[in-house]
Amino acid sequence: MDVVIRNANLADGRQGVDIAIEAGRIAAIGPALAVTAGREIDAGGDLVSAPFVDAHFHMDATLSYGLPRVNASGTLLEGIALWGELKPDLTQQALIGRALQYCDWAVARGLLAIRSHVDVCDDRLLAVEALLEVKRLVAPYLDLQLVAFPQDGVLRSPTALANLKRAIAMGVDVVGGIPHFERTMADGAESVRILCEFAAEQGLRVDMHCDESDDPHSRHIETLAYESNRLGLHGRVTGSHLTSMHSMDNYYVSKLLPLIREGGVAAIANPLINITLQGRHDTYPKRRGMTRVPELLAAGIDVAFGHDCVMDPWYSLGSGDMLEVAQMGLHVAQMTGQDAMRACFEAVTTTPARILGLEQYGIAVGNHADLVLLDAADPVEAIRLRAARRLVMRRGAVIAEAPRANARLDLPGRPDSVNFRLNR
Ligand code: FE2
């Protein structure tokens, strides 16, 4: 074997297993494997997880915070306007440089698959070209899936639909949309129909920014679920944000949830961004704005947590740490039960992997040897500690590594009775 990891806990609850790796794949998993390997790694009872996956990001805007100015109101709409001011000044070199810096951060944090929207409303398609190049460059380290995103509205912006089709022809993977930004509800619904039909023709997945609004009457998710069902796109369609569901009438939501399930549509909440951008027109009480995550999960709908933004016109913080995203999602959705906390870990690992359609993902024999060794015993502890990544592996090769940072104060007379391992 090339590598064997000893005494690892797995996210599914298995404890103290060994993982043998050969030729970039997981060759065996089991207790005390009788194998020899070129490198032995002692997990010491720590969690080995499949890599983190971010199902919703904007890599064309990342690390542009302050260019050309800061979002003063903190609203989604000022962010869109600010991005519009920045667009004419974008260069490929700057886009690629910022995206690669973000990928450095992502890999260090065990984030090895990202679905990034890329704005197609600049007729030059500079960002599309840049991110296709980034996708090619980073392929040995992480999977970058791109969504053709008509930021200014596929109907509202005169060249957006043609540009979106050009982007797909250039190699962008997924069809995007933004129905709530079209001029009218009717145009929004029409945009969903046009884009879903295009995706069905092309055999592509769909991921729309959908109802990113506090307006309870923003109901484009209903049309998205309908079109997914009508066109047989089950399992290939995602509604991102869905924040209007937070403000909807409960009776209407009781009809909507089964329709989303029937359409085979997945949901992506973006907790860090939703909690900061939504509710901005409220005084008090101030809405949280995140979609109804526990209710969607209870209805059998896949829900992932995305990062959405890091240091850009919409969000001034972030570092590519999906455990920070999971922790915020857990708090905003009040998902504090043990099963609910584990579901928050799944929302940044296995569920987004399914949404992206990643193949050979997960800690199982035959899959890619892509994994993260966390300084935590289990998924709940990983979220609580935002655990350090001891080691990140891609196709069997270690691509990031960090020592544990522990401290124990050396005090005379210190009682030894307390053994609560805060930082293990
Ligand atoms: Fe977004």
Mean pLDDT across the stretch 155-184? 98
Can you give the CATH number for the domain in which 388 is found? 2.30.40.10
**pLDDT tens digit string along 95-109?**
999 999 999 999 999
34 assigned to some structural domain: yes
CB 310 within 8 A of CB 274: no
Mean pLDDT across the stretch 70-88? 90
Do 93 and 158 sit in the same domain of this protein?
yes
pLDDT more than 90, % of the chain: 91
Mean pLDDT across the stretch 345-358? 98
d(CA 377, ligand 1 centre) in Å = 32
148 assigned to some structural domain: yes
> Which pLDDT belongs to residue 310?
97
Can you give the CATH number for the domain in which 86 is found? 3.20.20.140
The first and second tokens of residue 104, run together, are 């450095």
150 assigned to some structural domain: yes
* 3-class secondary structure per residue, 186-205: HHHHHHHHHHHHHHHHHCCE
422 assigned to some structural domain: no
Do 17 and 84 sit in the same domain of this protein?
no
Do 186 and 297 sit in the same domain of this protein?
yes
| β-bridge pairing 52-57 and 205-210 | unpaired
d(CA 58, ligand 1 centre) in Å = 6
215 assigned to some structural domain: yes
Mean pLDDT across the stretch 4-20? 97
- Choosing from 22, 78, 201, 212, which is the catalytic residue? 212
**pLDDT tens digit string along 285-296?**
999 999 999 999
Could you tell me the pTM of the whole model? Answer: 0.96
Do 261 and 375 sit in the same domain of this protein?
no
Do 43 and 106 sit in the same domain of this protein?
no
d(CA 163, ligand 1 centre) in Å = 19
Residue 405: band (very low, low, confident or very high) from pLDDT cuts 50, 70, 90: confident
For residue 341, give every residue at least 6 positions away whose Cβ sits within 8 Å of its Cβ, in sequence order, or none: 330, 335, 379, 380, 383
What mean pLDDT is reported for the chain?
A: 96
Residue 280: band (very low, low, confident or very high) from pLDDT cuts 50, 70, 90: very high
Q: State which of 326, 356, 386 marks the end of a domain.
A: 356
Do 369 and 294 sit in the same domain of this protein?
no
> Which pLDDT belongs to residue 419?
60
> Which pLDDT belongs to residue 423?
47
3-state secondary structure of 277: helix
d(CA 328, ligand 1 centre) in Å = 17
What is the domain range of residue 10?
Answer: 3-50+362-408
Q: Is the pLDDT of residue 370 over 90?
A: yes
3-state secondary structure of 244: helix
Q: Is the pLDDT of residue 189 over 50?
A: yes
Do 289 and 352 sit in the same domain of this protein?
yes
**pLDDT tens digit string along 208-222?**
999 999 999 999 999
Do 171 and 293 sit in the same domain of this protein?
yes
pLDDT more than 70, % of the chain: 98
Do 238 and 201 sit in the same domain of this protein?
yes
d(CA 305, ligand 1 centre) in Å = 12
Mean pLDDT across the stretch 377-403? 96
Q: Is the pLDDT of residue 376 over 80?
A: yes
Q: Is the pLDDT of residue 385 over 90?
A: yes
> Which pLDDT belongs to residue 416?
73
**pLDDT tens digit string along 145-154?**
999 999 999 9
d(CA 57, ligand 1 centre) in Å = 6
Mean pLDDT across the stretch 106-127? 97
69 assigned to some structural domain: yes
Residue 68: band (very low, low, confident or very high) from pLDDT cuts 50, 70, 90: confident
Do 203 and 268 sit in the same domain of this protein?
yes
**pLDDT tens digit string along 296-324?**
999 999 999 999 999 999 999 999 999 99
Do 62 and 44 sit in the same domain of this protein?
no
CA dist 215 and 96 (Å) reads 36
Mean pLDDT across the stretch 109-126? 97
d(CA 366, ligand 1 centre) in Å = 34
d(CA 213, ligand 1 centre) in Å = 12
For residue 241, give every residue at least 6 positions away whose Cβ sits within 8 Å of its Cβ, in sequence order, or none: 209, 210, 211, 212, 268, 269, 270, 274, 291
d(CA 380, ligand 1 centre) in Å = 27
Residue 407: band (very low, low, confident or very high) from pLDDT cuts 50, 70, 90: confident
Instruction: Tell me how many domains the chain contains.
Output: 2
CA dist 46 and 42 (Å) reads 9
132 assigned to some structural domain: yes
212 a catalytic residue: yes
